[in-house]
Amino acid sequence: MKLFDLAKIIRSKNAGPLYITFDLMFDSRENMEKVVSALTKEQISAAYDVPVEQIDIIPYDCVDSVKITFPRRHVSASLEDDDVYGCQQHMPLAQIELA
């Protein structure tokens, strides 16, 4: 099962010019808990080529959501940047296979 099979909404956006953040929203506590227990920093690291120790996974039980944050590869709006707003980065995360 892939992450997008369990999450109702998966979106990415800037968290300032140096970080990107992902919001995962679920229509049930059960689906959120499945993802929280199965999704690892190692999977995210492999999908985005970012060191494991730079990844934060923060569950918000009161709203059945999860936030994932890590440093952007390039500063937003720099010459190397290919997604100024960070809004097109969610697909590698959505494709992660969960056990």
| Burial (0-12, 13-18, 19+ Cβ within 10 Å), 79 | exposed
- pLDDT class of 98 with cuts at 50, 70, 90: very high
pLDDT tens readout for residues 10-28: 999 999 999 999 999 999 9
Tokens of 48: 């985005």
What is the pairing mode between strands 65-71 and 9-14? unpaired
For the chain, domains (ranges, CATH) are: 3-94 (3.30.980)
Report pLDDT for 99.
Answer: 81
> Once rounded to an integer, what is the mean pLDDT over residues 30-36?
97
Strand partners, 68: 22, 57
pTM of the model: 0.94
